[in-house]
Amino acid sequence: MSEITTRTRIEIHYDELADDPTVDDDGSPIIVSRRLDDRDATIHERMRGVSCAVRVDVPRSHVDRYAGEAIAYATPEHVREWYGEDTPETREKARDSLIAFAQEWRAWADGYTFGYTLTRERVCGECDQWEEVETDSLWGITTGDQDELADRIRGNLTEDGEIAALANAIETWTGEYPVAARGVHPVEVAAE
């Protein structure tokens, strides 16, 4: 006969405290303006000399982070910094990067930023209660795609029990606030 003496638990949570990806000052694409209309003269002034730009429509989200429109853009200096030169080919690469950036920003604005906690537990030999042995977590995973979220979490997991707990969490996904998914993987061991 075997009994369960250890288990791995993964919980996927919404990350309400994730930083706005547009405030990064490390050479990332920049959101120029969050209001695009003819009255916003600064947008037109700032767009002079821009190599490429991508428009982002952002609807009012359930977390109400932001609603409106925005433009992500790259100046010739950005393109040269990223790719070594400013050519039609590197501008196309920069535009592809801006599209990916805009999708990430849109996911963030819509509240699709997650984190997960991984907890390893075992049964206490004295009191027969579950006790935490080790806990780990990662936050700030921004994606609107559940499969991509699972892939990005899976990339940080190393043990079969962790991967099984993640699979269970994704299988039981509810998307309810604040915990989107829970997964537990028990490990059976032979009783002595």
The per-residue pLDDT for 192 is 46
What are the tokens at 39? 């009255």
DSSP 113-137: EEEEEEEEEEE-TTT--EEEEEEEE
Which residues are CB-neighbours of 123 under 8 A, at least 6 positions away?
A: 4, 5, 6, 129, 130, 131
The per-residue pLDDT for 191 is 44
The per-residue pLDDT for 60 is 46
Q: Tell me: pLDDT of 181 over 70.
A: no
- Alpha-carbon gap, residue 126 to 101, rounded angstroms: 52
The per-residue pLDDT for 1 is 42
Q: Are 163 and 169 in contact (CB under 8 A)?
A: no
Q: What's the predicted TM-score (pTM) here?
A: 0.67
Q: Tell me: pLDDT of 139 over 90.
A: yes
Mean pLDDT of 102-118: 84
Q: Tell me: pLDDT of 35 over 90.
A: no
pLDDT in tens, 58-91: 544 434 455 556 667 777 888 888 899 989 999 8
**Segment (H or E) for 31:** strand 30-31
Q: Tell me: pLDDT of 147 over 60.
A: yes
Asked if the bond preceding 178 is cis, omega within 30° of 0, the reply is yes
Q: Are 187 and 7 in contact (CB under 8 A)?
A: yes
